[in-house]
Structure 1
Amino acid sequence: MTYLSPLGYLLGLEGAALLQALREGTGDRAFVEARITEIRTLLADPALAASPGVEATPGGISTAEVYREWAPVYDEPNSMIEYEEPFVHAILDRLPIGDALDAACGTGRHAAHLAERGHRVVGVDASPEMLAIAERKAPGATFHRAELTSMPLPDRSLDLAVCALALCHLPDLVPVFAEFARVLRPGGHLVISDPHVALSYLRPTLARAPGPDGRPSIFTEYHRPLSEFLAAALPAGFQVRHCAELPRTNPPASALAGVPRVIPAPDVPQVSWELIDWIPEAAKAAFHVPTIVIWHFQLGGERSDSMPGG
């Protein structure tokens, strides 16, 4: 069981803000005393005291359920996509035109970009709701409903694959990288983005009520150190061309300015983004961590279309 407490989450962010300031040398006396005062205020707040939290079961929400809900709103303003997309496109735009895969394509945002660049595009995703949107967004592409570990694509049929913000949903990277190595031609490029492990310690927990057991349930994600990507990619024959850890330069609270303070309802137990507006200065300091990791790999072998590093 995981105990979801709005007060506990806010106190955790205050502690993270203090530790970040100590590490970076930015925590002067005024900042530290402001955090201590804010912690005392949070502990005395009657609204937080009246919301003691709930126990939730990890792993009771499937990826399919979550993306069924997200599909209609996925293309709305999304800070993760806003950070990730320019960096991924900068890599993709330097690669030769060829046969390209958008793996776990979602609503087809990268598929559409690749098609506009002149690639022959195929997309793969397990969510029919997301694929329906992708087909409208990139009508010239071919889409398949399938898992990343078993894609209905011929061996050595692709020059390029991109997989964006999706590997965090898979428990094991090894079979995924093996599948990428199977479908790419020698010298083919693989561009991956994923939520950074550092962010996972700070962002709210996605929960729903009830889960299969009647209790509130938490969506499971797999946040990995960078070494796990290398442990899966290198034995599959991939070489690292570039790796970037993108920092979060703006706090999530910036998008919530003026929003009334909200405590998640007990029947929908969510330690939610709205809570961050309670402590914007602490949130800004705490969230000064890498948000997304970007990888550019190249499959070993013949490299007739090689390029300068990432």
Structure 2
Amino acid sequence: MIYENPLAYVLGLEGLALLRSFTGEHDRAFVDARVAEIRALLDDESLADAAVEVARVGTVDGYRVWSRTYDGPNSAFALDEPVIGEILNGLPPGTALDAGCGTGRIAAVLSQRGHQVVGVDSSPEMLDLARVRVPDGDFRLGELSELPVADGAVDLVVCCLALTHVPDLRPVMAQFARVLRPGGHLVISDVHPERVARGSIPPVRLPDGTAGRLESYRHSAGDYLRAALPVGLQVRRCEEPFSPCTEPSGATDRPRATGPGPWEVWPWSLAALVPEAAAAADRGVPAEIIWHFQLTGA
């Protein structure tokens, strides 16, 4: 179980803000304000009383629940789709694998661009939605670590917002390299490791009402490289897009919340309890990491 205490989260944001002050990003008035705010937070017993025990949920069970609302408003889609589109603009149509295809968001993009689409996902419920969305796609049940795709069968692999659920990137990258033809391309987008470290992990409410978060892992940029380079995947491009509120020059005058809000919108609603500290802690922290690799041997 995960113990999510709102007081612990906001104190963590205050600490991150103070660390950035220690290196000269903020003045004494800002530091004094943070210390005063910490004292007030420690006196607010309602925050500690709002703590929640949260279950770790596997992707199959979690996406069974999330599949019903996955295609609703999702700010992550707006961040990765423009960059992925730019990369795809430079690639000819071919056979494309949407690995961890979910409801077929990227499969639809690939199909519209003339690719013959294969989709793989471990969630039967997500695959059902993908088949409706992309009727001419070939969708298969399977794991990223053991793709049900033949060796050298595809020209392109795209994997979006899935690898944070994988504990070890090495077997997955090996699978991507195995199914790619020599010279083939791999495009990955995922939640940035610094956002995962700040609690940006999908919440799900289980059928019995239990609060849960999808099993998620923080992979550094080096983890991707250490998994990709030994299997012949060479870096062509890496981007780290920001959400509007974390741009290096982003606004600092965020509205302040009066309470922690419902658990389903933690940690974002918690950050609103300490907007100045949150703005300082998050400024310049990317929201996603996007990679373009190419398999050697063309």
Point out 4+ residue stretches in structure 1 off by more than 6 angstroms: 207-212
SS at match of 2:278: helix
CA distance in 1: counterparts of 2:201 and 2:211, whole angstroms:
12
Q: Describe the shift of the 1:271–1:146 C-alpha distance in structure 2 as closer, same or farther (beyond 3 A).
A: same
- Counterpart of 2:273? 278
CA distance in 1: counterparts of 2:277 and 2:94, whole angstroms:
47
Identify the match of residue 122 of structure 2 among 126, 132, 135. 126
- Counterpart of 1:221? 216
Q: Describe the shift of the 1:6–1:259 C-alpha distance in structure 2 as closer, same or farther (beyond 3 A).
A: closer
Q: Deviations over 1:183-225 (max 9, x none)?
A: 111000000112222222212566678999xx97654311112
CA distance in 1: counterparts of 2:147 and 2:90, whole angstroms:
26
Q: Describe the shift of the 1:264–1:196 C-alpha distance in structure 2 as closer, same or farther (beyond 3 A).
A: same
Q: Does 1:232 align with 2:211?
A: no
Shift of 1:2: 4.7
SS at match of 1:290: coil
Q: Does 1:153 align with 2:149?
A: yes
Q: Deviations over 1:59-115 (max 9, x none)?
A: x42111211121111111222222222112211222111111111011111111111
- Counterpart of 2:41? 42
Tell me which amino acid in the other structure corresponds to 1:174. R
CA distance in 2: counterparts of 1:42 and 1:257, whole angstroms:
17
SS at match of 2:67: helix
Structure 2: 5+ residue stretches without partners: none
- Counterpart of 1:306? none
TM-score (norm 2): 0.86
CA distance in 2: counterparts of 1:209 and 1:156, whole angstroms:
40
SS at match of 1:84: helix
Contact 1:202 1:286 in 2 (8 A): no
SS at match of 2:79: helix
Contact 2:5 2:48 in 1 (8 A): no
CA distance in 2: counterparts of 1:301 and 1:205, whole angstroms:
37
TM alignment of 1:14-93, pairs within 5 A = 14-23=14-23, 25-51=24-50, 53=51, 60-93=56-89
Q: Describe the shift of the 1:250–1:241 C-alpha distance in structure 2 as closer, same or farther (beyond 3 A).
A: same
Shift of 1:290: 2.4
Contact 1:6 1:263 in 2 (8 A): no
Q: Describe the shift of the 1:41–1:66 C-alpha distance in structure 2 as closer, same or farther (beyond 3 A).
A: same
Contact 1:103 1:163 in 2 (8 A): yes
Q: Does 1:163 align with 2:159?
A: yes
Contact 1:161 1:191 in 2 (8 A): yes
SS at match of 2:280: helix
Tell me which amino acid in the other structure corresponds to 2:268. W
Q: Describe the shift of the 1:109–1:5 C-alpha distance in structure 2 as closer, same or farther (beyond 3 A).
A: same
Tell me which amino acid in the other structure corresponds to 2:277. A
Shift of 1:127: 0.7
TM-score (norm 1): 0.83
SS at match of 1:235: helix
Contact 1:205 1:271 in 2 (8 A): no
Tell me which amino acid in the other structure corresponds to 1:141. G
CA distance in 2: counterparts of 1:103 and 1:257, whole angstroms:
39
CA distance in 1: counterparts of 2:202 and 2:97, whole angstroms:
29
How many percent identity over aligned positions? 48
Tell me which amino acid in the other structure corresponds to 2:278. A
CA distance in 2: counterparts of 1:225 and 1:100, whole angstroms:
26
Q: Give the length in aligned residue pairs.
A: 293
Q: CA RMSD in A?
A: 3.0
CA distance in 2: counterparts of 1:207 and 1:121, whole angstroms:
29
Shift of 1:241: 0.9
Shift of 1:283: 1.6
- Counterpart of 1:96? 92
Q: Describe the shift of the 1:15–1:167 C-alpha distance in structure 2 as closer, same or farther (beyond 3 A).
A: same
Q: Does 1:201 align with 2:197?
A: yes
CA distance in 1: counterparts of 2:74 and 2:207, whole angstroms:
26
